[in-house]
Structure 1
Amino acid sequence: MVNKKIYLDYAATTPVDSEVKKTMLPYFSEKFGNAGSLHSFGQEATAAIDGAREKIAKAIGAQFREIIFTGSATEANNLALRGVLKAKSLKVKARIIVSAIEHESVLETAKDLEREGAEVIYLPVNREGLVDVGKLKESLNERTILVSVMYVNNEIGTVQPVREISKLILEFRKHSTFPLFHTDAAQALQYLDCDINNLGVDLMTLSAHKIYGPKGIGVLYAKSLKLKAIITGGGQEFGFRSGTENTPLIVGFGKAVELAARDRKRAAKKITELRDYFWKELKKIEPKIEVNGRIAPHILNIYFPYRGSQDFLARLDLSGISASSGSACFARSLVPSYVIQALGYSRERAEHSVRFSFGKYIGKKDIDEALKRVKIIVDNS
């Protein structure tokens, strides 16, 4: 019988922090007002939402009105791509540029826009998962309205050269407004600098449940709001996202961002050390394993040459260890990772790769116990 479950899938989702939960609770019951109401209950909800918006804006160096709350990071990505395309009226076919290893919510949206008539360029990446900046430069033209390259890949942890890409785009557009630059930073906020002034992005996606906040709430930072709504109705969120605001989740998101910004340096140091220790010790158990990608502090995607990922993950789960074979949004389909194949690796390698991701509720004792259980699996299979 397994005494303790060890969760090593923090890139999929995180548990809600106790401080975040405490902050949210009153807005489910006694402070339940609709922010659209003019009476005191509505005013209380509006004040809470404004406070969360201010916290998030401050954390990323944005203006208050540039923070748009959405129902998820997926919705935020959709708003970025579809909203910019709707806002830019072109007599010729619009061009959108995305990397080949974007999250599904960007890639599938790009494919959908392609079917609707847009031209989409899919930037290749190298073996480490880094985009080909030279190819990006070649792909920019006067019809390009948007470039979307994620900050940290959710499967392999590759950190893209966002600042370098931003400078390239700024040089190209000079005094023009387009193309805009969007980055999905859902996996970055907990560990990396997400100040939009340092990054030079025009749009940025954030997710609460990746940073110990609640599920069902996302943010799109939109510089000067150069986009149009894709959900219409009552005109909430400055007209860019209609629907009654989810006050408890928004408040929780604000608190989660505040804690992430406060603890970022310490968290990055701790998680990087745990990740490196896990890799070093795991290599002793399975000497022929290899890393996929160029790792972020919290993500370690590993190729196990002699172990199919689905069988290995099942054995890990039975031993009380939770890991994954890739994106949680796509994992249940059992399709080999398109991200690993985009690195130039075979389908076989994708089918033999496992993602371990780490978070603040994991310590060295948990890592040692996980390694012990992995060794038992390896020795008995």
Structure 2
Amino acid sequence: MERIYLDYAASTPVHPKVKEAMLPYLDEKFGNAGSLHSFGRDAMAALDAAREAIAGILGAKFHEVIFTSSATEANNLALRGIVEGYRVQGSGFSKNRGAQNSTLDPSGYTLNPRIITTPIEHESIEETSRDLEKEDIEVVRLPVSKEGFVNPEDVGAALTPNTVLVSVIYGSNVIGTIQPVREVAEVVKRYRGKTGKPYPLFHTDAAQALQFLEVGVGELGVDLMSLSSQKIYGPKGAGALYISEDTLPLVSPVITGGSQEFGLRAATEDIPAIVGFSRAIELISLNKENEAERLRSLRDRLWDGLKTAHPELELNGPEPGPRRLPNNLHVYFPNHDSDELMVKFDLAGLAVSVGSACSMRSTRSSYVVKALGVDPKRASHSLRFSLGRPVTAGQIDNAISRILKLL
């Protein structure tokens, strides 16, 4: 029985050309990029070339690309780095400071920084936000529509003088919603222009969007953007955070212990993974639109096959179209427990998921689905299908046949 993998939002296989690019840096070119001898210089040259390539695709400057171990780490650097950077810029925001003026500290920055986000972010944003709340950081989660969209006007209405960061996921890893990132960025920029201050900043998690959507930072208008290698047929263990030149001085490192990555991320750079990441982003950029359309067609074929046989099935998130990631389906199965159904699918050779792989080890239902304002039980009766480049029409038809036998 052929195993059919339909969980590409969780991880993707390494492209053969990516693997080929990585191999020299696993043996003969194994040097540390921080070393001054020839082995180190070879590693540094590879690091520089990878950074230059990714910066070029993003329309960014060389020093605006900060390599991390994952998009999760990049998200942490964005949130924690901005909050800590704000503390440094404003001489702190603890309750023990600013006793003579409860609103402003000596540098003119408010003492109680505020973050605006949504309730459907990736777990690395949601969990980090919860941790920051324990440190007396105010986190505002704006409501979303039943399809998962945030309203840019709601963002504008929520901005205050002490808002330091707005973070909105570009394409949902769970329900596939594509957020109006450009519009939100414009709202934030316009507010900043009125106040004349460098805050608030705008961050987006583009891990799922990278291979399908526009990621030119000038076009999007973002200040920070998180990226992942393993979602685009690159190796695990590599990610990046784009930080605009104006924003760089406002970010403090989260991991210390060295001056790597322009002082923002200490640790010896993983050259093989970074080289692979760079090659992967080059490859997915070659035929991005055509591949998105191909996967969109296969995704619709899968949904039509299921929905025609079982009209009671429903989608979580937007209807298939331009506002949903082209490879994503998140299906509500009214009469089936999602965990039990996922096991049945697995035994039938179908790999799908409940939602984010980062929350699979926990037993709680998807907070993303619950945030849509639907019956909370719906979250425990839904499964995510996410397609990738190796998927064929024959596999989709095969998957439909197997699923219908199980329902």
Q: TM-score, normalised by structure 2?
A: 0.91
Deviation at 1:347, TM superposition (A): 1.9
2:351 — aligned with what?
322
1:180 matched to 2:194? The reply is: no
Uncovered stretches (5+) of structure 1, i.e. residues with no partner: none
- 3-state SS of paired residue (1:367): helix
Over aligned residue pairs, what C-alpha RMSD do you find?
A: 0.9
Q: Deviations over 1:141-199 (max 9, x none)?
A: 11011000000010000000000101111111103211000000000011001111010
Residue 58 of structure 2, aligned match among 57, 60, 78: 60
Query: Which residues of 2 match residues 343-358 of structure 1 at below 5 A?
Result: 343-358=372-387
1:306 — aligned with what?
335
In 2: Cα distance, 1:102 partner to 1:373 partner: 32
Deviation at 1:332, TM superposition (A): 2.4
1:97 — aligned with what?
116
Query: Which residues of 2 match residues 134-149 of structure 1 at below 5 A?
Result: 134-149=153-168
Amino acid at match of 1:154: N
In 2: Cα distance, 1:21 partner to 1:246 partner: 14
In 1: Cα distance, 2:207 partner to 2:307 partner: 29
Residue 34 of structure 1, aligned match among 32, 35, 55: 32
- Structure 1: 4+ residue segments shifted above 4 A: none
In 2: Cα distance, 1:81 partner to 1:333 partner: 23
Deviation at 1:119, TM superposition (A): 1.0
In 2: Cα distance, 1:133 partner to 1:349 partner: 27
Name the stretch that deviates more: 83-92 or 193-202: 83-92
Q: Deviations over 1:47-94 (max 9, x none)?
A: 101111011101111100000001111110010011111111343200
Query: Which residues of 2 match residues 113-132 of structure 1 at below 5 A?
Result: 113-132=132-151
In 1: Cα distance, 2:133 partner to 2:342 partner: 36
Q: Deviations over 1:179-223 (max 9, x none)?
A: 000000000011001111010000000000000001111100001
In 2: Cα distance, 1:223 partner to 1:115 partner: 28
Deviation at 1:131, TM superposition (A): 1.0
1:268 — aligned with what?
292
Residue 360 of structure 1, aligned match among 364, 389, 399: 389
- 3-state SS of paired residue (1:242): coil
In 2: Cα distance, 1:285 partner to 1:361 partner: 26
Amino acid at match of 1:27: Y
Query: Which residues of 2 match residues 1-381 of structure 1 at below 5 A?
Result: 3-89=1-87, 90=90, 91=105, 92-174=111-193, 175-224=196-245, 225=248, 226-294=250-318, 295-378=324-407
In 1: Cα distance, 2:242 partner to 2:406 partner: 45
Uncovered stretches (5+) of structure 2, i.e. residues with no partner: 91-104, 106-110, 319-323
Deviation at 1:296, TM superposition (A): 1.1
- 3-state SS of paired residue (1:332): coil
In 2: Cα distance, 1:120 partner to 1:324 partner: 29
Amino acid at match of 1:25: L
Deviation at 1:285, TM superposition (A): 2.1
Aligned residue pairs, count: 376
In 2: Cα distance, 1:109 partner to 1:311 partner: 30
